[in-house]
Structure 1
Amino acid sequence: MKSGQSRGSGRFGADVVPVAVPMAVMLAIGLWGLDRGGMWGDESVTFQVAQRTVPQIWRLLHDVDAVHGLYYLFMHAVLAVHPGEVVLRLPSVCAATATAGLVAALGVRLAGPRVGLWAGVLYAITPMVGHYAQEGRSYALVAAGVAASTLLLLRTVDGVGGRGWGPYGAVVGLTCALHELAVPVLCAHAVTLALLRVPRGLWSGWGRAAVAVALLLVPLVWVSRGQSGQVAWLVAPGWDRVERLAGNFSPGPAGPVFWGSLLLSAVGLWERRTAAVALPLLLVPPTVLMAVSQVRPLYHDRYVLYALAGASLLVAAGAGRVARALGRMRFEGRRMRVGGRRVHALLGAAGVLALVVTFLTQLPVHRQDRAAAHRPDNLAVVSALAVRQMRPGDPVLFVPSVGRLAALAYPKGFQRARDIALRESASRSGTLWGREASPGELRRRLASVDRVWVVSEPYALDPRWSPPDPVERAKLAVLREEFAVREEHARDGVVLRLHVRRQPADEPPGEPPGAATTARLPVSRPAAPRTRRRPGRW
């Protein structure tokens, strides 16, 4: 009994350390620079929607963002504790930390403690993981759910009688409810079962779990299908997206680290059991989404973040195979003989050194990612500009209306201003950024003012931009016909302009808003306009 307990405790220690170390590394990376000084558009959607009442969230989901419904309800409970930017991102940090531990646990079960440790740390130091670990969206949580379900799948296959399909189905169902584009993980797991050549009884249990998940998702898919306009900005992926995904999944940049990882992944294919789990997880979800997206674009790298775990496992398995081969070798010289434990110690040190070097090569990327300017926009900066420039009672116009997210996320900057186009608030209207007045009503409101501040997206400054929304077209027409630009301030891809009513001697209608006036003013110009997708989409 004592000897058995001794072996069990030793095994426990050998299994815990390889899991705990990657979790500690991931937690440190996730918390590093977490408060970067501002939310960007998608995060602001999470922030403002999650602070609505549950009935208001439920009403919103009938028209938009049903795919994020469960996540918004979860974040509603989280932000009830404290509505702040750090708290907004903490669930993603915790989820990424858990995923690093789960990847390590998969490696331990498949190929031993050393491979598990390497796989978990590789996952933690990959920049793509660090990026979404610090984002107030659901993708890190989905990755954790997929890793947990993969571990449950493996434990059920290794068990007796397949009694673990209930927990497996529950975790997969919850994960897909967080984001329905996690469904391809079921295809990956089916390929894993085929490669492992499991008996028919296990296939039957897995099939029942998969059917239960599919039935659970039918209502969500039905509702979100009617909201597919949210992803109209996506395009069919080509080979350039494949190359980009390969780079994002690599723990290092193009060069020795990238090609070394690729080589170790190829070696890892010889570890048949590990490859049977890792390779389908790595390849099947991106392949399925890219194939579907040739007909109906649904692919984005972040939707398959969870597949990155397969890459980490393959690289670590390859490194483990090389280490075992070297461990069987003996090195002799005139003065010393190296073998056995010494070789294993040297290999362990070499593995640690390789991971440190890999992280250091990506350190500039990690640092850059922790700057608010590295995100598509920084709504805190927009609010700060408004505080400095607007006077109490000044009318403000958002072009397009999605720019109102800055006022929703940081209302302090706009509390002195008057939103001249707003007809009904976002929370009351069950929309993401509120309902605006009709084109006719908007013209009447603008006719009553002699000056108006315009918060503009860069692409809206392009005279060739022709929005499909009649309200947006009315905004541009009134500004062009009746107003001229007096001031312009640009910061982090957002432009704040003061428009004043044009006098009869000013430039004739038909020119871009403020074309003549702006040429005479020492205003700051933004960099070349960059088209940005509308926040709040999938």
Structure 2
Amino acid sequence: MAQMPQNRPVTTTRLARTRLTATAAIAVPVAVMLALGMWRIDRGGMWRDEAVTYEVGQRSLPQIWHLLHEVDAVHGLYYLLMHGVLTVHASEVTLRLPSVVGAAVAAGLVAAIGTRLARPRVGLWAGLLFACTPMVSHYAQEGRSYALVAAGAIGATYLLLRALDGGPWWPYGLTLAVTCLLHEFAVLVLLAHGVTLVLCGAARRAWTRWLASAAAVVLVLAPLAYISNGQSAQVSWLTRPDMERVERLAHMFIGMYGAVYWTCLLLAVVALPSRRRLSVATVAAPLLVVPPAALLLVSQERPMYDDRYVLYALAGAPLLAAAGADRVLRGLSLLARRVAPRAGDAAEVPPARVDAPTLALRLDPVPAGAPARADDSDGRGLAVVPQTRPSESSADGPSTGNPPGRPRVRMALRGAVALAGALAIAGSFAFQLPEQRFERTTASRGDDLAEVGAAAARLMRPGDAVLYLPAISRRSALAYPADFRGTRDMTLDVPGPASGTLYGTELSPAEVRAKLAGVDRLWVVSQSHALWRGSRWAPEEPVEKTKLALVKDDFVAAVPRQVAVLRGTVIRLYVRKDRGATGA
């Protein structure tokens, strides 16, 4: 007993050092992700989905509410968030800042999960791998909800671990409910968590509380799911995914290039066998596989799959790769000890595997008569058993036979190993640098509305008549109205904010014919599939049919040609046929 007061300061110092190490393992990936997110965040143009966020976010709250009754209800909470952000300052940078923050939080949470389930260096490596994945960079710099959804889903996974360790369950349910309101397909993470509970052999009490949380989440989500199902025409462009899409997703999650992909894949496989029920493998593998697999299977019957909808599942890949790397290093260390034991090691017991400095969480039933914590009486079957590393505890006491400097040497070695792993991840980032640079260009998106606006400003003059074919082509004018200032929209009836639509409502076919009757020169901003050579586009809407027929029957392309062919969009000047093509 006399030695306990002497050892207590040393133990407290060790605990403080461990907490500092764990904090650093989480903070470093957050800082790296913030830096990568801010790198060329102003790439010089919005693409169509970002333009919708930008335009809708600047509407009034009643106008946003009106819109959600007609379209885009699935993004309603995100639009309300962006309304607050863009009210402060509307720009392309502020449009993307919430996504940067969301990706940084997600990277920190990945690191926190790895630290909690394994050790700080596993968390550090996993967080850095997540931050350095090109797919993460893509959505960290996009003005849509997917990075925030990833942060919420990964945060819910971390809170699940805390709940299983005796913490409250309401933060888990609340976080997941809010995340599902940001995007309803986040609900698929519940399936992954259910598989984790099966693999870790959770007790009845844990199942009861999880099922109650899951039911609450589904209940909150049900009205949104009902409304969005009625707006499903918005995703009618999605197609049935095939094996090529699955392979593409695997590369996006694990690594875009061969060396990075195969290395991370092999390390992930190494991490899968686990003697512990609650481990990186039993948490990360279901997160990685279950949500994408579920959505891919459902989409065989009703196409709803897109890579971005399951971005949060990517977190499982870096966690498994980091745990696999840690397992390989520990195996090599044990092999080295057996081959060439050091002096004084013969009497040492191999260090016990622990999850925290002084406690290990086991999912084994509490032995009869064994002491347990007060919260173990709830029937979860979780025993908290004191664990020590004999080699380290002996180093603290005066009776140890180890050299006094042994703990410091081991700490230095661990720090060197963690740093070496971080440098290896930096090497993988450098290997994928071309992909990272590409993600920070406008070419990495489906289109560039700034390019369309610049072409319109160069070609059109105030007073020119413009026709958008189909109406969705109007999005470039909504995103960059200054480039179209002074032009006349010949078919718009009620603008989007007043009509509760994204692009406004148009005049009736008869009104369109009457309004274009006196127009001799007409600029047509069209999607490339609408008027391009060999196009077989046949719109169903009467007004779109009328616009297409008028351009084809009453107008002809001007000579000399005045045209801008851009990605997905064509701007071309047409003149009335009875004036002749040379009349321009």
Query: With structure 1 as the length reference, what TM-score do the two structures score?
Result: 0.90
The 3-state SS of whatever aligns with 1:219 is helix
Cα contact 1:373–1:492 (8 A) shared by 2: no
Aligned to 2:332: 326
Aligned to 2:225: 221
The 3-state SS of whatever aligns with 2:563 is strand
Aligned to 1:467: 539
| 1:402 matches 2:472 | yes
Compute the displacement of 1:236 (Å). Answer: 1.5
Cα contact 2:257–2:432 (8 A) shared by 1: no
- 1:265 and 1:405 map into 2 onto residues whose CA distance is 43
The residue type equivalent to 1:287 in the other structure is A
Cα contact 1:249–1:308 (8 A) shared by 2: yes
Compute the displacement of 1:349 (Å). Answer: 4.7
The 3-state SS of whatever aligns with 2:578 is coil
The 3-state SS of whatever aligns with 1:330 is helix
Compute the displacement of 1:254 (Å). Answer: 3.4
The 3-state SS of whatever aligns with 1:270 is coil
Match of 1:482 among 542, 548, 554: 554
Compute the displacement of 1:345 (Å). Answer: 6.0
Aligned to 2:238: 234
Aligned to 1:113: 120
Aligned to 1:301: 307
- 1:314 and 1:2 map into 2 onto residues whose CA distance is 36
The residue type equivalent to 1:326 in the other structure is L
Query: How do residues 406-417 of structure 1 correspond to structure 2 at under 5 angstroms?
Result: 406-417=476-487
The verdict on how the C-alpha distance between 1:135 and 1:191 changes in structure 2, with shifts beyond 3 A counting, is: same
Aligned to 1:269: 272
The residue type equivalent to 1:419 in the other structure is D
- 2:225 and 2:444 map into 1 onto residues whose CA distance is 33
Match of 1:458 among 524, 528, 547: 528
Deviates more, 1:423-432 or 1:351-360: 351-360
Aligned to 2:258: 255
The 3-state SS of whatever aligns with 1:499 is strand
Compute the displacement of 1:330 (Å). Answer: 3.1
Query: How do residues 242-391 of structure 1 correspond to structure 2 at under 5 angstroms?
Result: 242-250=246-254, 252-271=255-274, 272=276, 273-330=279-336, 341=410, 344=414, 347-391=417-461
Aligned to 1:90: 97
Compute the displacement of 1:344 (Å). Answer: 4.7
Cα contact 2:456–2:483 (8 A) shared by 1: yes
1:292-319 deviation per Cα after TM superposition (whole angstroms, max 9, x unaligned): 1111111111000000001110111100
- 1:135 and 1:283 map into 2 onto residues whose CA distance is 25
| 1:127 matches 2:97 | no
| 1:441 matches 2:444 | no
The verdict on how the C-alpha distance between 1:311 and 1:470 changes in structure 2, with shifts beyond 3 A counting, is: same
The residue type equivalent to 2:539 in the other structure is P
Cα contact 1:327–1:343 (8 A) shared by 2: no
Cα contact 2:128–2:422 (8 A) shared by 1: no
Percent of aligned pairs with the same amino acid: 54
The verdict on how the C-alpha distance between 1:177 and 1:502 changes in structure 2, with shifts beyond 3 A counting, is: same
Match of 2:204 among 180, 200, 203: 200
Cα contact 1:139–1:305 (8 A) shared by 2: yes
- 2:580 and 2:505 map into 1 onto residues whose CA distance is 36
1:401-444 deviation per Cα after TM superposition (whole angstroms, max 9, x unaligned): 11111111111011110111100000000000000111111111
The verdict on how the C-alpha distance between 1:383 and 1:183 changes in structure 2, with shifts beyond 3 A counting, is: same
Aligned to 2:361: none
- 1:345 and 1:480 map into 2 onto residues whose CA distance is 71
Compute the displacement of 1:343 (Å). Answer: 6.4
The residue type equivalent to 1:450 in the other structure is D
Compute the displacement of 1:169 (Å). Answer: 0.3
- 2:70 and 2:185 map into 1 onto residues whose CA distance is 19
| 1:31 matches 2:31 | no
The 3-state SS of whatever aligns with 1:454 is strand
Aligned to 2:390: none
The verdict on how the C-alpha distance between 1:443 and 1:323 changes in structure 2, with shifts beyond 3 A counting, is: same
- 1:17 and 1:346 map into 2 onto residues whose CA distance is 15
Aligned to 2:190: 186
The 3-state SS of whatever aligns with 1:119 is helix
The 3-state SS of whatever aligns with 2:524 is strand
| 1:45 matches 2:34 | no
Deviates more, 1:95-104 or 1:467-476: 467-476
The 3-state SS of whatever aligns with 1:489 is strand
Compute the displacement of 1:198 (Å). Answer: 1.3
Give structure 2 stretches of 5+ with no counterpart: 1-7, 346-408
- 2:579 and 2:563 map into 1 onto residues whose CA distance is 22
Compute the displacement of 1:358 (Å). Answer: 0.5
Cα contact 1:253–1:361 (8 A) shared by 2: no
1:263-301 deviation per Cα after TM superposition (whole angstroms, max 9, x unaligned): 101001024511110011001101111111111111111
Match of 2:573 among 498, 503, 507: 498
- 2:272 and 2:476 map into 1 onto residues whose CA distance is 48
The verdict on how the C-alpha distance between 1:263 and 1:497 changes in structure 2, with shifts beyond 3 A counting, is: same
Larger radius of gyration: 2
Cα contact 2:112–2:123 (8 A) shared by 1: yes
Cα contact 2:520–2:579 (8 A) shared by 1: no
The count of residues paired between Structure 1 and Structure 2 equals 503
Compute the displacement of 1:504 (Å). Answer: 6.9
- 2:564 and 2:436 map into 1 onto residues whose CA distance is 30
The residue type equivalent to 1:231 in the other structure is V
The 3-state SS of whatever aligns with 1:495 is strand
Cα contact 1:429–1:435 (8 A) shared by 2: yes
Aligned to 2:174: 170
Aligned to 1:69: 76
The verdict on how the C-alpha distance between 1:13 and 1:387 changes in structure 2, with shifts beyond 3 A counting, is: same
Cα contact 2:264–2:321 (8 A) shared by 1: yes
Match of 1:210 among 196, 208, 214: 214
Cα contact 1:326–1:343 (8 A) shared by 2: no
The 3-state SS of whatever aligns with 1:96 is helix
- 2:557 and 2:438 map into 1 onto residues whose CA distance is 35
Aligned to 1:526: none
- 2:439 and 2:188 map into 1 onto residues whose CA distance is 29
- 1:318 and 1:333 map into 2 onto residues whose CA distance is 22
- 1:52 and 1:196 map into 2 onto residues whose CA distance is 48
